[in-house]
């Protein structure tokens, strides 16, 4: 094993030593190629995105007309579809590349997959569908089932097109309709379109020299090959790996969840690490239904929980911490410090100091936990995360660190440099080849590439102008949803809106409500077109770009990753795609709620 020299966690009095270490570790990892280091899953690598879960079903092309067509059958499409149906829009067609609803949860069926934000706030439409998650952090099969439940509950299956990739969407201004074309030969019309293809949906591979030469078996975690590994998404042992030497490349949130399963099953497991994740306590628990009925159930319970989590997680104050987990823990620590010290009111300096203190304390604990759990001191040292907690997606797990105590498991730390080379027979780090039968790429998803590259289509709006052209200098929207020149079209995401990263579906829920409210109003008014004005779009872009409210992980002082443009300077163009509402998520959700309720629809024209 190659590791950095063991370094113990400095105590709080050694704050400067920690800051210096953060800088050293970050600088090791900076590379000039930034996002270009990754290989696009295309050409010779295209098979990495084949659907391993269902057979292709042939069907006739559709050429009809629907009221609303939505691209993407994940949480975005399901929530928007549900809200549209509730608002009385019956004709909703979801077009989805996968063989069923689910999006992320359709594709990511790797062993151990589960949500890492409390299911009560993470899984949408619980109250509406009557489902109570069985665990604090539900596992992937339950979440996928819930997606299907939403689909059935709101009759979204009736008109859905699965295994279908949109190829183009064009605005016909005379007819005031969109024409949607797909890879199945469909050419149907829609009065409105929604785009919800997700921020992390296109797998990427590391640009490791020789990656194309490997002659063993290989797959990406988002297309788990159970035929090869044995087992199933419900957790059955990976019983075909008993005689296999397996490499997993990447140690992000996905690897943290699947490594324990591989560790139990493989003859030998080599975990290739560039940057360790911070791994906090998970403490998953089954839902106590009596407690739920007694303490939680009641009209509006899920909204209450989501708002409470959002408030606490983004530095706000609330009487109760309903979720009470690792996410809200840091907020609690900040709050307690502020209350203790705020004798003369709350100042920005006080907040910064409280945040810094809480963060250093938290990361000290997370590093200390590694020593407590991992037997081998060199391995423990290499597993310690030297950056602020929100620089990378924080992870929570009670079996990941323990996996390194299994006899067949080796951590191959690359000291921030990444894997050196892949050969026909194995993986090379620091000149040593680790021979393996299989490589599992836990290398994440494209972020920061163009919308068109990730989605595989472009939108052509009024006057033949494409969305790619309109966004050439950076994303431009009002509320993250409406785009000038693209009437009756709605973008669903988090940027230029709430930008709540800890509970991404909260952004999607709000977007779904907004779309349904706008469409219902347009229909009630008999409008053919609804469009944001150029002035309103510009004013919104100015507002979000002019604000300092980038999420903490986007700081260039952070270790490189997709949160901060791989450590590359964030130019105006990139900033537009990172930016959120100035006051943060809570302020945005309050703003957009008031905007919807006002009925004035400021910034939009209905004609
Ligand atoms: P990530 O992008 O977080 O991780 C990719 C990993 O691959 C990193 O450890 C990265 O190292 C490593 N890597 C990249 N290139 C190389 C290389 N050349 N050599 C060695 N290692 C390399 O992807 P994940 O799939 O883990 O997670 C993506 C996101 O999906 C998460 O951030 C989270 O938002 C979401 N997710 C959510 C879950 C949930 O809610 N339950 C579960 C899993 C994922 P480095 O860090 O140095 O770049």
pLDDT in tens, 396-455: 999 999 999 999 999 999 999 999 999 999 999 999 999 999 999 999 987 766 767 677
- State in Å: Cα 219 to ligand 1 middle: 15
| Average pLDDT, integer, range 269-293 | 97
Sign of CA dihedral 169, 170, 176, 177: negative
> Alpha carbon of 52 to those of 44, 69, 141, 321: distances in Å?
17, 26, 16, 41
Q: Judge residue 60's burial from the number of C-beta atoms within 10 Å of its C-beta, 0-12 exposed, 13-18 middle, 19 or more buried.
A: exposed
- State in Å: Cα 270 to ligand 1 middle: 17
| Average pLDDT, integer, range 165-176 | 97
Ligand 1 neighbourhood includes 116 CB (under 6 angstroms): yes
Q: Is the pLDDT of residue 498 over 80?
A: yes
Residue 265 structure tokens: 């099953």
Ligand 1 neighbourhood includes 115 CB (under 6 angstroms): yes
Alpha helices in 172-274 (DSSP H): 226-229, 253-265
Q: How much is the pLDDT for 202? A: 83
Q: How much is the pLDDT for 552? A: 59
> Alpha carbon of 425 to those of 83, 246, 266, 421, 435: distances in Å?
52, 11, 17, 11, 6
Q: Per residue in 424-434, is it b (16+ CB within 10 Å) or e — as a string? A: eebbbbeeeeb
Q: Which of 253, 309, 418, 503 to mutate to test the pocket of ligand 1 (most atoms within 8 A of CB)?
A: 253
Cross-strand pairs, 204 = 40
Q: How much is the pLDDT for 547? A: 73
Q: How much is the pLDDT for 13? A: 55
Q: How confident is the model at residue 245 (pLDDT cuts 50, 70, 90)?
A: very high
CB 57: neighbour CB atoms within 10 A?
8
Residue 486 structure tokens: 């693209």
CA distance 116 to 281: 11
| Average pLDDT, integer, range 104-126 | 97
* Residue with CA at minimum distance from ligand 1 atom 19: 418
- State in Å: Cα 160 to ligand 1 middle: 31
Q: Is the pLDDT of residue 252 over 90?
A: yes
Q: Is the pLDDT of residue 11 over 70?
A: no
Ligand 1 neighbourhood includes 68 CB (under 6 angstroms): no
Quick one: which of 141, 193, 557 has its CA closest to 386? 557
- State in Å: Cα 175 to ligand 1 middle: 45
What's the order of all strands across the beta sheet hosting 438-441? 217-220, 438-441, 245-249, 268-273, 409-413
Q: Is the pLDDT of residue 489 over 80?
A: yes
Q: How much is the pLDDT for 87? A: 97
- State in Å: Cα 248 to ligand 1 middle: 12
- φ and ψ at residue 139, rounded to 5 degrees: -85, 160
- State in Å: Cα 255 to ligand 1 middle: 7
Q: Is the pLDDT of residue 10 over 60?
A: no
Residue-wise pLDDT for 84-96, tens only, equals 999 999 999 999 9
421 CA to centre of own chain: 29
Residue 427 structure tokens: 């993986």
- State in Å: Cα 591 to ligand 1 middle: 33
What is the helix (H) or strand (E) element at residue 534, kind and residue range? helix 534-545
| Average pLDDT, integer, range 514-520 | 98
- Give residue for tokens 């279908």: 164
- Give residue for tokens 């290739």: 272
- State in Å: Cα 151 to ligand 1 middle: 29
- State in Å: Cα 444 to ligand 1 middle: 4
What is the helix (H) or strand (E) element at residue 166, kind and residue range? strand 166-172
CA distance 97 to 416: 35
CA distance 395 to 389: 9
**Distant-in-sequence, close-in-space partners of 46: CB < 8 Å, separation ≥ 6:** none
Q: Which of 393, 420, 434, 551 to mutate to test the pocket of ligand 1 (most atoms within 8 A of CB)?
A: 393
**Distant-in-sequence, close-in-space partners of 44: CB < 8 Å, separation ≥ 6:** 212
Ligand 1 neighbourhood includes 443 CB (under 6 angstroms): yes
Beta 217-220 vs 438-441: how paired, if at all?
parallel
The rounded mean pLDDT for the chain is: 92
Q: How much is the pLDDT for 335? A: 81
* Residue with CA at minimum distance from ligand 1 atom 15: 206
- State in Å: Cα 396 to ligand 1 middle: 14
- State in Å: Cα 105 to ligand 1 middle: 16
Q: Is the pLDDT of residue 550 over 70?
A: no
Atom of ligand 1 nearest to the CA of 393: 32
Ligand 1 neighbourhood includes 119 CB (under 6 angstroms): no
Alpha helices in 404-525 (DSSP H): 451-455, 467-470, 504-525
The full DSSP string for 31-99 is -TTGGGGEEES-GGGGGGGS-SSS----------EEEEEEE--SHHHHHHHHHHHHTT---EEEE-SSS
Q: How confident is the model at residue 6 (pLDDT cuts 50, 70, 90)?
A: very low
Is there a contact between 529 and 607 (Cβ–Cβ < 8 Å)?
yes
Q: How confident is the model at residue 9 (pLDDT cuts 50, 70, 90)?
A: very low
Is there a contact between 381 and 5 (Cβ–Cβ < 8 Å)?
yes
CB 272: neighbour CB atoms within 10 A?
25
Question: What angle in degrees, to the nearest 10, is found between the helix axes of 301-313 and 504-525?
Answer: 130
Ligand 1 neighbourhood includes 442 CB (under 6 angstroms): yes
Q: Which of 144, 394, 443 to mutate to test the pocket of ligand 1 (most atoms within 8 A of CB)?
A: 443
Residue 488 structure tokens: 């009756």
Q: How confident is the model at residue 551 (pLDDT cuts 50, 70, 90)?
A: low
Is there a contact between 270 and 436 (Cβ–Cβ < 8 Å)?
yes
CA distance 462 to 137: 44
Residue 42 structure tokens: 């295309």
Q: Is the pLDDT of residue 137 over 90?
A: yes
CA distance 130 to 77: 19
Is there a contact between 441 and 218 (Cβ–Cβ < 8 Å)?
yes
Ligand 1 neighbourhood includes 334 CB (under 6 angstroms): no
Three-class DSSP category at 309:
helix
Q: Is the pLDDT of residue 5 over 60?
A: no
Sign of CA dihedral 299, 303, 308, 311: negative
Q: What is the DSSP letter of 292?
A: I
Atom of ligand 1 nearest to the CA of 414: 20
Alpha helices in 138-198 (DSSP H): 140-153
Q: What angle do CA 404, 407, 413 make, to 5 degrees?
A: 40
Ligand 1 neighbourhood includes 206 CB (under 6 angstroms): yes
Q: Judge residue 464's burial from the number of C-beta atoms within 10 Å of its C-beta, 0-12 exposed, 13-18 middle, 19 or more buried.
A: exposed
Cross-strand pairs, 92 = 68
Ligand 1 neighbourhood includes 387 CB (under 6 angstroms): no
Beta 177-182 vs 187-195: how paired, if at all?
antiparallel
CA distance 112 to 138: 10
Q: How confident is the model at residue 3 (pLDDT cuts 50, 70, 90)?
A: very low
Ligand 1 neighbourhood includes 272 CB (under 6 angstroms): yes
- State in Å: Cα 260 to ligand 1 middle: 16
Residue-wise pLDDT for 37-70, tens only, equals 777 888 888 888 889 999 999 999 999 999 999 9
Q: What is the DSSP letter of 533?
A: -
Ligand 1 neighbourhood includes 252 CB (under 6 angstroms): yes
- φ and ψ at residue 3, rounded to 5 degrees: -140, 160
Q: Which residue has better confidence, 148 or 499? A: 148
- φ and ψ at residue 125, rounded to 5 degrees: 60, 35
- State in Å: Cα 154 to ligand 1 middle: 34
Beta 204-206 vs 38-40: how paired, if at all?
antiparallel
Q: How confident is the model at residue 201 (pLDDT cuts 50, 70, 90)?
A: confident
> Alpha carbon of 560 to those of 271, 399, 400, 415, 566: distances in Å?
20, 26, 22, 14, 4
CA distance 318 to 329: 13
């Amino acid at each position: 094993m190659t590791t950095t020299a063991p370094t113990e966690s400095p105590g709080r009095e050694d704050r400067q030593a920690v800051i210096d270490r953060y800088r050293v570790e970050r600088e090791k990892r900076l590379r000039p190629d930034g996002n270009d280091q990754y290989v696009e899953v295309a050409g010779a690598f295209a098979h990495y995105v084949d659907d391993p879960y269902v057979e292709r079903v042939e069907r006739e092309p559709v050429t009809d007309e629907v009221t609303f067509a939505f691209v993407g059958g994940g949480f975005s499409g399901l929530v928007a579809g549900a809200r549209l149906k509730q608002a009385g829009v019956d004709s909703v067609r979801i077009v989805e590349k996968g063989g069923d609803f689910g999006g992320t949860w359709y594709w990511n069926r790797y062993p151990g997959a589960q949500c890492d934000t409390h299911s009560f706030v993470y899984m949408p439409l619980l109250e509406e569908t009557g489902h109570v998650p069985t665990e604090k952090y539900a596992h992937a099969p339950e979440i996928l089932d819930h997606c299907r439940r939403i689909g059935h509950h709101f009759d979204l299956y009736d008109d859905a097109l699965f295994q279908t990739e949109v190829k183009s969407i064009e605005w016909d201004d005379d007819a005031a309709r969109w024409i949607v074309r797909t890879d199945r030969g469909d050419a149907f019309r829609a009065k409105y379109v929604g785009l919800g293809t997700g921020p992390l949906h296109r797998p990427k591979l590391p640009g490791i020299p020789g990656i194309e030469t490997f002659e063993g078996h290989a797959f990406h975690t988002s297309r788990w090959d159970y035929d090869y590994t044995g087992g199933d998404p419900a957790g059955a042992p990976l019983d075909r790996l008993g005689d296999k030497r397996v490499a997993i490349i990447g140690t992000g949130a996905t690897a943290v969840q699947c490594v324990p399963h591989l560790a139990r099953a493989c003859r030998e497991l080599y975990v290739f690490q560039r940057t360790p994740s911070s791994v906090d306590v998970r403490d998953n628990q089954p839902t106590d239904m009596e407690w739920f009925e007694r303490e939680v159930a009641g009209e509006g319970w899920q909204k209450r929980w989501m708002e409470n989590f959002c408030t606490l997680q983004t530095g706000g104050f609330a009487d109760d911490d309903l979720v009470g987990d690792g996410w809200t823990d840091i907020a609690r620590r900040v709050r307690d410090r502020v209350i203790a010290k705020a004798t003369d009111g709350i100042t920005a300096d006080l907040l910064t100091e409280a945040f810094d203190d809480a963060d250093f304390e938290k990361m000290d604990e997370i590093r200390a936990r590694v020593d407590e759990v991992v037997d081998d001191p060199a391995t423990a040292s290499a597993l310690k995360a030297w950056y602020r907690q929100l620089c990378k997606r924080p992870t929570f797990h009670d079996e990941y660190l323990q996996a390194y105590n299994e006899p067949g498991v080796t951590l191959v730390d690359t000291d921030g440099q990444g894997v050196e080379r892949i050969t026909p027979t194995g993986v090379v780090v620091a000149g040593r080849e680790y021979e393996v039968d299989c490589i599992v790429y836990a290398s994440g998803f494209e972020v920061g590439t163009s919308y068109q590259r990730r989605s595989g289509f472009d939108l052509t709006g009024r006057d033949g102008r494409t969305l790619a052209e309109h966004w050439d200098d950076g994303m431009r929207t009002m509320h993250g949803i409406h785009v000038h020149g693209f009437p009756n079209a709605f973008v669903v995401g988090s940027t230029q809106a709430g930008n709540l990263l800890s509970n991404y579906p909260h952004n999607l829920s709000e977007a779904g409500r907004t779309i349904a409210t706008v469409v219902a109003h347009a229909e009630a008014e008999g409008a053919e077109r609804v469009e944001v004005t150029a002035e309103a779009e510009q004013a919104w872009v100015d507002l979000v770009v002019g604000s300092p409210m980038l999420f903490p992980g986007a700081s260039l002082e952070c270790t490189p990753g997709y949160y901060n443009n791989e450590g590359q300077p964030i130019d105006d163009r990139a900033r537009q795609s990172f930016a959120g509402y100035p006051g943060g998520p809570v302020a945005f959700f309050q703003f957009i709620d008031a905007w919807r309720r006002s009925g004035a629809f400021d910034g939009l024209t209905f004609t």
